[in-house]
Amino acid sequence: MRRARFVLRGAAAVLLAATAACSFTAGFDGFVGPGAADGGGEAPDGDGAASLVGDDAGGDGDGASDPDTGAELDGADPNVPPVFVDAGTSFCPVPETPSTFCEDFDSADLTVRWLREGVFGKLTSYSSRSAPNVFLVDVPPSTTGGTFVSKITRTFDTTATSVVLGFDIKPERVYLGSSFFILAALEWAQGEDKYSLRLVYSNGSVRLEESNLVPPPNNKDAYHPFFALPEGKWTRLTLDIVASGATPGAQLLLDGIAVGTRETLTPTAGIDPRPTLILGAVFAGNPHTGWTLRYDDVMLTFR
């Protein structure tokens, strides 16, 4: 696995303005944001926000794998289907332990273990990290902006506010403007009190954001430093999270190398300790040139 360092970047005021809308009045699992839908369906509610739920078609596939060369000349081919192999023959061990959830996308279609929503996320066996398959989010350009969603969601019955999330990610196309893309989240949102911790792209960089998922003026949101995520190559992104207790915090790592110091978190008190994992959720507030990202070898460890 290649080693590379996150490059911490200072966030200018324009970035703060552009990404402030990343705090939604519902969790990723309910996914609410302003504007009109773009490709993922829409259901306007009374306050002008759009509650976005795409199709739950599942079973859509894509195509063929190559090694981690980072030199992919052509775009992804979303028309080549995935290839499934026996569980335990790829990244994830069999059987799983009670303290670990693992997904390599190689032994079953998405809808077997995930709730799939939206039309831009699917499996492909083209350019995977661990053969044969990868989860591809391939969002086309939009000249109108608005909101859209394409995500997979997994809700757990295991109680854990101390977790380690790791996944391989390969950004191939990233919009450098002010539209933003929420690429992953962990949420504790099954109870009345909620907490969301998400990774958000804006202006070509990524940062960690927090929200209590309450609309203004009672919202409590926090924004952490931006960092650069290398494009055109696979990177192992890890979040070591403690979302309760006397010293809540999160440490970001890239290929096992820590990004700065541990960030202090401000989780909502009294949250239901059963987490929800979301990959590929998308929201864009302005016209954009699209995003293409690949995800593979997801592991969530409960502590």
Residue 24 lies in a domain: yes
Separation of alpha carbons 200 and 182, rounded Å? 4
Separation of alpha carbons 282 and 137, rounded Å? 9
Q: What is the pLDDT of residues 35-81, one digit of tens each?
A: 223 333 332 222 222 222 233 333 333 333 333 333 343 455 656 88
Domains held by the chain: number: 1
Residue 2 lies in a domain: no
Q: What is the pLDDT of residues 74-117, one digit of tens each?
A: 455 656 889 999 999 999 999 989 999 999 999 999 999 999 99
- Least confident range of 23-32, 86-95, 198-207, 244-253: 23-32
Residue 154 lies in a domain: yes
Provide the H-helix boundaries in 122-250: none
Residue (of 239, 229, 165, 221) closest to 202 by Cα position? 229
Range of the domain at 238: 8-68+76-302
Residue 3 lies in a domain: no
Residue 92 lies in a domain: yes
Residue 1 lies in a domain: no
- Bridge partner residues of 101 (DSSP): 300
Q: What is the pLDDT of residues 246-257, one digit of tens each?
A: 999 999 999 999
Residue 147 lies in a domain: yes
The CATH number that applies at residue 90 is 2.60.120.200
Separation of alpha carbons 136 and 138, rounded Å? 6
Residue 153 lies in a domain: yes
Name the pLDDT band for 285 (thresholds 50, 70, 90).
Answer: confident
What residues contact 262, with CB distance under 8 A and at least 6 apart? 249, 250, 251
197-220: average pLDDT: 94
Neighbours of 66 (CB within 10 A): 11
Q: What is the pLDDT of residues 166-187, one digit of tens each?
A: 999 999 998 888 778 899 999 9
